[in-house]
Amino acid sequence: MKTTIKELTLENFQKYGTFAPLTPPTAKPLAGENTPIRFWPDCGGVLDLGPNASNQLAIGICQVDYRDFKVDVSEFHSSCGEGNIPLDGDIYIHVAVPTGNGEIDAKDIEIFKVKQGTVVIMKPGVWHHAPFSTKPGETVNTIIMLPQRTYFNDCEVVEIEDELTF
C-alpha cells in the first residue's frame, strides 16, 4: 500500500495533537528582545502527562548569545524542578543549592559546562538562571521544560549583590 505525505498543519494534525515552532517568529519573548538572553515560555505546546500526573509539561526556548561570564541574577522555582537541553551548542550553567529564604550568596554558586544534547534536570528550589553560550559569536537555543505557567506562578528572581565572574 502506498500513501502520501501530508503537510503538517494544525487542521491536518488536530485529531492527533498539536505542534508549535520553538521560537515563534511573531511572538515577543518574555525576557528581552534586543538582549543577549531571549526567553519564550510555554511556546512549544503543552504535553499532557496523563491522569496520574499533577501538572502538564510546558516546553519553552531560551536563546542566548555569547556574553560576559558574570552571574548577577538568579532564580528558583519552589514547587517544581526544571529541565534544560542545549540544542545547537555547549552552554555554561550556574547553580546553587536551595536556601529556602530567597537569598543567594555568590560564594555558593557553582558553574558547569553542559554539552550540546545533554539533558539537565534541576531539583525544586535550585538557584539558576539563563545559560551562557561558551563561544564568542555563538547563539545557543536551549529547550526549557517546566509545568505550564511556572514563570508567572512560581519564579522568584533576585539580583546577586557580589556578582560572580568566571
pLDDT per residue, tens digit, the chain (166 aa), is 787 888 888 898 888 877 766 655 567 787 777 889 988 887 777 777 777 767 789 999 999 999 999 999 999 999 999 999 999 999 999 999 999 999 999 999 999 999 999 999 999 999 999 999 999 999 999 999 999 889 899 999 999 988 899 9
Buried b (16+ CB within 10 A) or exposed e, 82-102: bebbbeebbbbbbbbeeeeee
Domains plus CATH for the chain?
Answer: 65-139+151-165 (2.60.120.10)
Backbone angles phi, psi at 12, to 5 degrees: -70, -30
CA–CA distances in Å: residue 54 to residues 51, 79, 80, 148: 8, 12, 11, 11
Given this model, what pLDDT does residue 113 score? 95
Residue type, 30: L
Given this model, what pLDDT does residue 132 score? 97
